[in-house]
Structure 1
Amino acid sequence: MNDWKEIQALSHLAVVSEYFLQVTLDKTGRVITSDSGIGPVPTFFDNKEKPIFFADCFLASNWAKYETQRLKAWRNSHQSFTLELQKIVHPEGGIVNTKWEFFFISEDFGTCLGIGHPLVENKPYDIGLGDFFDSASGDKELLDHILEDKLLGFWEFDLEKKTDFISQGLGHMLGYTQEELKTSASISWQDHIISEDYNALIHDLTTHFQTTGNIPFKREFRMRPKTNQVIWVLGFGKTIEWSDSGLPRKVVGCLVDISERKKQEIWLKEHHYFLKELAHEQSHSLRARVANILGILEIMEAEPQSDETNRLMQLIKNESKLLDQALKKSIKQSVKKNKDLPDFSPDEDQHSLS
């Protein structure tokens, strides 16, 4: 992803999304461009030409960490580097932890474009994700909510040259070392897709191409990193370059880890079927046995019995009726909880996480 056009497409994420942050820094730490979430808010009396620097946006002590990572990436010929920074919140003056990936965009490796996002404690499992890149005006919200620290990274695919590029963060998630990312000309993230999920992914990507990008590429699927631990991801893609004949040339996208959400969904499915079976067992088996006991007691009552036996039989009868009432109440609660759970159709994907 050395071309400025592709990196500029990624910076578009921060411009139209409340979740992502964006900043461009030169080698002195001066802010060249940024979104509204970075830096102090100017007042009426401020000089509009007054420059903003790194220390106006992040803790000054973070500069050494930033420079260390930048120089390390430069010496090792890396295309980008990742790090966590403590962003200053203006005008309140508080601090929020953020995670960034910086891309080199100048020949001297001094100017870097950074795309970041906050690291928050709450993990919203209800992900509402908009289209990845608005093909029309660019004003639409791209990513409304994302799991904390679960943006795995960016990817780019050149369909004419058949070459892949993956960001450093995505490469590390897939289990590649820094040396492998540096020496390998092309590492394909598609090679890590679980085979059962591959055809559906290709179908959605083909639909994206056939509609000339009007239908964005968005798909949930499983991946197997080199560690062999299967994860669920939500993949987004957008074609950013087309040939004169209308064929796709270059596609960029990002992957989000949704494994925790899928674990919750699988647990809800299992709980759903457990409650269903429980209600059936209570209704048809347990209550039937209680009815049998009451029937036997009625037969015994027709026979001559001692006063003590009649007293004990009446106690058993009363307890059996109370048990039947308790079962009816339990069945009603189980059915209600089952209805409150999300509806899972029988053909719904039952893939596990392992």
Structure 2
Amino acid sequence: MNNYDPIQALSHLAVVSDYFLQVTLDKNGKVISSDSGIGPIPTFFDNKEKPIYFSDCFVPSNWGKYESQRIKAWRNSHQSFTVDLQKIVHPQGEIVDTKWEFFFVSDDFGTCLGIGHPYSQPMPYNLGLGDFFDSTTSEGKQIIDSILEDKLLGFWEFDLTNKGDKISQGLGHMLGYTQDELSGTTPISWQKHIHPEDFPNLLRDLGSHFKTTGNIPFKKEFRINQKTNQTIWALGFGKTIEWSSTGRPTKILGCILDISDRKKQEIWLKEHHYFLKELAFEQSHTLRARVANILGILEILDSEPQNNESKRLVQLIKRETKLLDQSLKKSIKESVSKNKSMEDVIS
């Protein structure tokens, strides 16, 4: 897979979606291709070959912002760049704020394919990307949100017939490979970077995808070990795009997303959850046990002969100790409630 193949797959998703936008611009801002939501609607008198430019699709002053990000990405050897653009809605002439990621698709880094979406409007219920990108499910929302938040690590393709494994340059760089290694003839397998503890479950879920003839998309959370020995959490997903005449899978195409931040939050929640459980145990078994001991001692003192002042002090201490015990009961109850809520969030 060359670097443009997976981008074309993502471009296709944008074309069939009512939510995402797609446009390809040359270095002069001329629109090479786009979906129907980009550019003015031609009239009967317009020439079919009439070119469309950046200024026909976006606020003209945004061109400087676009060029600045393109040149910055090129100088830093990045394969893509993001930029916020104000899209012109034709024929009304309204302005809509949109967020874009542009990919370099030519050797001179001048031609760029962009995938965009409006961010000033709520996300629609159905993006038209099929079951895999169903925005009504938590998994679909997570995948879409991850892509929109620029956490897409790269693409992968596996040819089951020839046992060929191909990855995009972005994924290769994330794994720690140099440009020379990615450009070489030796194939690079991203599967060997999967954490050994996660690999069996990943194969099991992939097998389930095959057994349902692709009706259940493959998606799995797992850890990736980079060449630098650093570990990140990833969400891999994909679909079988080619089947043999006998119904056997022959080629799979998918993406990998970075979910390390979310996993860090989950780990923090679990640690906080255990802390609350230990605190509740400490309150119920240790602190209340000491309070019970104090009340027992006060009962003994109360049965002994005392003057009026001593008796008053014993009753005062007993009353305050009982109030302390009630406060501990309330605190324990709240801790148990918080633990239950935390368990619901973690699960």
TM-score > 0.5, shorter chain as reference:
yes
**CA RMSD, Structure 1 to Structure 2 (Å):** 3.9
Question: Contact 2:177–2:227 at 8 Å: present in 1 too?
Answer: yes
Code of the residue aligned with 2:264 in structure 1: it is K
Distance 1:46 1:304 in 2: 113
Instruction: Tell me whether 55-64 or 143-152 shows the greater mean CA deviation.
Output: 55-64
* Structure 2 counterparts to residues 1-354 of structure 1, below 5 A: 1-2=1-2, 8-17=8-17, 20-25=20-25, 29-35=29-35, 39-40=38-39, 42=41, 47=46, 49=48, 50-57=50-57, 59-61=62-64, 62-63=66-67, 66=70, 81-91=79-89, 92-93=94-95, 96-103=98-105, 114=113, 116=115, 131-132=131-132, 143-146=143-146, 148-343=149-344
SS in 2 for 1:60: helix
TM-score between the two structures when normalised by the length of structure 1: 0.76
Code of the residue aligned with 1:89 in structure 2: it is K
Distance 2:311 2:251 in 1: 88
Instruction: Tell me whether 2-11 or 323-332 shows the greater mean CA deviation.
Output: 2-11
Distance 2:213 2:111 in 1: 32
- State percent identity of aligned pairs: 58
Distance 1:186 1:332 in 2: 59
**2:137 alignment counterpart:** none
Structure 2 CA distance for partners of 1:20 and 1:112, relative to 1, 3 Å: farther
SS in 1 for 2:257: strand
Structure 2 CA distance for partners of 1:329 and 1:296, relative to 1, 3 Å: same
Structure 2 CA distance for partners of 1:322 and 1:241, relative to 1, 3 Å: same
Query: Structure 1 residue 13: deviation in Å?
Result: 2.3
Query: Structure 1 residue 24: deviation in Å?
Result: 3.0
Code of the residue aligned with 1:335 in structure 2: it is V
Distance 1:176 1:233 in 2: 18
Query: Structure 1 residue 199: deviation in Å?
Result: 0.8
Question: Contact 1:16–1:142 at 8 Å: present in 2 too?
Answer: no
Larger proportion of helix: 2
Distance 1:142 1:250 in 2: 25
Query: Structure 1 residue 316: deviation in Å?
Result: 1.7
Code of the residue aligned with 1:34 in structure 2: it is S
Distance 1:155 1:296 in 2: 72
Question: Contact 2:88–2:95 at 8 Å: present in 1 too?
Answer: yes
Distance 2:311 2:141 in 1: 76
Question: Contact 1:233–1:259 at 8 Å: present in 2 too?
Answer: yes
Question: Contact 1:235–1:255 at 8 Å: present in 2 too?
Answer: yes
Code of the residue aligned with 2:51 in structure 1: it is P
TM-score between the two structures when normalised by the length of structure 2: 0.77
In the alignment of these two chains, the number of paired residues is 325
Distance 2:243 2:110 in 1: 29
Question: Contact 1:18–1:144 at 8 Å: present in 2 too?
Answer: no
Distance 2:334 2:173 in 1: 47
Code of the residue aligned with 2:82 in structure 1: it is E
